[in-house]
Structure 1
Amino acid sequence: MSEGRSLLVYVIAGEPSGDALGAKVMAGLIQASGGTVRFAGIGGSEMTGQGLVSQFPMNELSIMGLLEIVPHIPRLLRRIDETVREIERVQPDIVLSIDAPGFCFRVARKLKQKGGVVPPLVHLVAPTVWAWKPKRAEKIARFLDHLLVILPFEPPYFTRHGLATTYIGHPSVENPRGDRAAFRARHAIPQEAPLLAVLPGSRGGEVSRLLPVFGETVARLAARHPDLHVAVPAVPSVRDAILAAVAGWPVQVTVTEGAGEKADLFAAADLALAAAGTAVLELVLAGVPSVAAYRVNPVSYHIARRLVTLQHFTLPNILLQREVVPELIQGDCTADRLLAALEPLLSETPQRKAQQAASALLFDMLGGNTTPPSRVAADKVLEIAS
């Protein structure tokens, strides 16, 4: 850091989960620096809430699937070049990229290849080399300076290739506890009525593939439980698509936005149906018994299944090495199977109790009883930048 000026951190996030994590780390940096740190970069609404002016809309980077990304490649390549030029122009003290490896790693590699004075390149959230393509660990060690990981078993995959790696804990353990009664009162949901949280994902492709089968499942569940209510937390980029899809559902559906509403919903919900991803771990940590589901383009799925060696898809099951959360993926993601998995979670069954027991175990395993992960990350960023 140059004498006489405040620290400038260039932060890159490419999807809503990275935006949420980036906002937490930014808050930690502001606190740890006494409010003197400055930011530039790319992020969404939560990072802009911490003072970031995004270089371009983050949702341009939120694309999922091996084939789905193909039409967007020219624009993504252009954005990579623009980001490299902007980093060279503003000369930050450090670059902190968060998840979105397809974009972030190309930016980092280009910066290193251009040579000259390059700020320290730190990446938060490791690529899942333990699930597929393990040789990526050796490759990223060539252009990253430090890796911050969020799962306890990850460091050895990278340190063996000489990449400095720090385990910070999982950011989901920092999620605030919400207010069950307030959420239900605010949205006219009776306190004793069963409430299903539906989380169809944060990308347009996820929402379009999952909401039809989720809607059919909700209709069948409501036929058995006429007092069922449904709530869907939405990010701005898919809110309109969600509103259009749920308009025809035969139940009262509350669509919410914002971190506060989401926390209150997790406190108020009796069970959840969610796209397999970070949301499933968040739900389990919040004590909400859940069912995970996912569908992608059939060709993308076929390719991925040949590459991925894991037995489970969701983090709770991967960490516990057993299926606590039912996973219904691709061909198994049908209304019949989703209904059969959800039904036992509405009463005090062994399935519901097993998920509730897993919540406390995972909270401790992921750093919930130590220094908050975002503060660990912020302290490490300041240490490296200094």
Structure 2
Amino acid sequence: MRVFVVAGEASGDKLGAALMAGLRKHTPDVTFEGIGGDRMIAEGLQSLFPMDEISIMGITEILSQYRHLKARIRQTADAVLAARPDVLITIDLPEFGLRVAKLVKAESDIRTVHYVAPTVWAWRPGRARKMARHIDQVLALLPFEPPYMEEAGMRCDFVGHPVVTDPVATPDEVARFREGHGVQEAPLVLILPGSRRSEVSRLLPVFSQVVADLHMQRPDLAFVLPAAPNVANLIDEAVASWPVKPTIINPPQDGVKAKQAAFAAADVAVAASGTVSLELAAAGTPMVIAYDMNWLSRQIIGRMLRVDSVTLVNLVSETRVVPEFIGANCQPKPIAAAVLASLDAPDDQMQAMAFTMDRLGRGGLPPGERAAQAVLDGLTENGGRIA
């Protein structure tokens, strides 16, 4: 069996490596070609070119690299057509992967699978119909996504979210973390301003005031801020002027386990919107979600949103127990009040987080293996082939 797999970001590399391991478990003679990072290379992939060449985010960055990206898209499609694999699997990064699939479908009948469904349930539903022109099957991370893809004409399999297999700190690691940072029995508030420079710059002033308000009302609270590597310097500079300074955790120096221990040790978190809500749910940490954007983005996204919550725990659990303060509502005082309320009465969130993890596949087959089974099943349906 020959598989061509394309990933363009660290998260996609992680998904791809788990999928490759799952395919090898069920089809030992499988061979892989494509684009990936260190994890996929360790699973036997020879990358066509370095993955980071297509790891480009943002409209300005994409436009500045347009010619180069277009050439890489054509090169990748040509490599797929020359290889004639049993299946082409593109992982997330739709700006690149779906364009490759479109070119491949225009010149062949190679089966195409896209791993990570686009968020058509939240905004731009027309993306599903456009995808269906050149994607045969979608592998979804969230349990409510398949109907949206199926309605557009694609097979869609819910395969589980990788967060359910991520390590969670043990009680001993939590105890060592608390002792090592001098917080012992103090209630611990986790501050998570995001990982992109633009969002961190916008949220840090708000979070600074949240921390100050919380400290004024509850002087016993301790604060910890795990900094993503690419924004660590920005955070260090900003926090130096905060009236109440949290303990900063820098994963490259302190180790990944320090971040895991911080998540598990915290009693409550203030977090930017995103998949971090699922990481917190996996650790069993109640949260308050806060996010803001520039004025134009507020107007555009506000009009395009199709859901009344942007927090995945709320959406997966079909509750609205996680407080969120988005756009103009991202104000320090109500955020601080919600943090204290969540700290004092966490039970509803604890139940919703446990239910979310169960719905995402905790305790079942690992998502990578489920994804592999779905790909193999898709290949054999409707007269599909496996060489």
> TM-score under structure 2 normalisation?
0.83
Determine the structure 2 residue equivalent to 1:11: 6
Match for 1:255 among 231, 250, 259? 250
Determine the structure 2 residue equivalent to 1:279: 276
Determine the structure 2 residue equivalent to 1:74: 64
Amino acid at match of 2:349: Q
Matches within 5 A, 1:336-375: 336-347=333-344, 349=345, 352-375=346-369
Q: Which portions of structure 1, spanning 4 or more consecutive aligned residues, are displaced by more than 6 angstroms?
A: none
Once the two structures are superposed, what CA deviation does each residue of 1:256-295 show, in whole Å capped at 9, x if it has no partner? Answer: 2565443332221111111111111221232100011111
Determine the structure 1 residue equivalent to 2:293: 296
After superposing the two structures, state which structure 1 stretch, 354-363 or 52-61, moved more. 52-61
Aligned residues: 369
CA RMSD of aligned residues (A): 2.9
Percent same amino acid among aligned pairs?
38
* CA deviation after TM superposition for structure 1 residue 121, in Å: 2.3
Determine the structure 1 residue equivalent to 2:189: 196
Determine the structure 2 residue equivalent to 1:150: 141
Once residues 131 and 251 of structure 1 are traced to their aligned partners in structure 2, the CA distance between those partners, rounded to angstroms, is 34
Once residues 41 and 229 of structure 2 are traced to their aligned partners in structure 1, the CA distance between those partners, rounded to angstroms, is 14
After superposing the two structures, state which structure 1 stretch, 119-128 or 18-27, moved more. 18-27
* CA deviation after TM superposition for structure 1 residue 84, in Å: 3.3
Match for 1:88 among 65, 73, 78? 78
After superposing the two structures, state which structure 1 stretch, 168-177 or 182-191, moved more. 182-191
Structure 1 pair 321–367 and aligned structure 2 pair: CA distance change class (3 A): same
Match for 1:236 among 229, 232, 238? 229
1:134 and 2:128 matched: no
Once the two structures are superposed, what CA deviation does each residue of 1:9-31 show, in whole Å capped at 9, x if it has no partner? Answer: 423144x5444434433443455
**Could you tell me whether the CA contact under 8 Å between 2:226 and 2:250 is conserved in 1?**
yes
Determine the structure 2 residue equivalent to 1:97: 90
**Could you tell me whether the CA contact under 8 Å between 1:10 and 1:92 is conserved in 2?**
no
Match for 2:57 among 54, 62, 68? 62
Amino acid at match of 2:342: L
Determine the structure 2 residue equivalent to 1:66: none
Once residues 262 and 137 of structure 1 are traced to their aligned partners in structure 2, the CA distance between those partners, rounded to angstroms, is 36
Once residues 375 and 255 of structure 1 are traced to their aligned partners in structure 2, the CA distance between those partners, rounded to angstroms, is 32
Once residues 58 and 22 of structure 1 are traced to their aligned partners in structure 2, the CA distance between those partners, rounded to angstroms, is 17
SS at match of 2:313: helix
Structure 1 pair 138–251 and aligned structure 2 pair: CA distance change class (3 A): closer
Structure 1 pair 287–183 and aligned structure 2 pair: CA distance change class (3 A): closer
Match for 1:161 among 152, 161, 176? 152
Structure 2 residue runs without a partner (length 5+): 380-384
**Could you tell me whether the CA contact under 8 Å between 1:80 and 1:107 is conserved in 2?**
no
Determine the structure 2 residue equivalent to 1:310: 307
Structure 1 pair 28–245 and aligned structure 2 pair: CA distance change class (3 A): farther
> TM-score under structure 1 normalisation?
0.83
Once residues 238 and 133 of structure 1 are traced to their aligned partners in structure 2, the CA distance between those partners, rounded to angstroms, is 30
Amino acid at match of 2:57: S
Amino acid at match of 1:255: N
SS at match of 1:198: strand
**Could you tell me whether the CA contact under 8 Å between 1:195 and 1:231 is conserved in 2?**
yes
Matches within 5 A, 1:149-228: 149-186=140-177, 187-228=180-221
**Could you tell me whether the CA contact under 8 Å between 1:222 and 1:251 is conserved in 2?**
no
After superposing the two structures, state which structure 1 stretch, 250-259 or 326-335, moved more. 250-259
Determine the structure 2 residue equivalent to 1:41: 35
* CA deviation after TM superposition for structure 1 residue 316, in Å: 1.6
**Could you tell me whether the CA contact under 8 Å between 2:227 and 2:248 is conserved in 1?**
no
Match for 1:108 among 101, 105, 112? 101
SS at match of 2:224: strand
Structure 1 pair 25–358 and aligned structure 2 pair: CA distance change class (3 A): same
**Could you tell me whether the CA contact under 8 Å between 2:284 and 2:353 is conserved in 1?**
yes
Once residues 182 and 16 of structure 2 are traced to their aligned partners in structure 1, the CA distance between those partners, rounded to angstroms, is 33
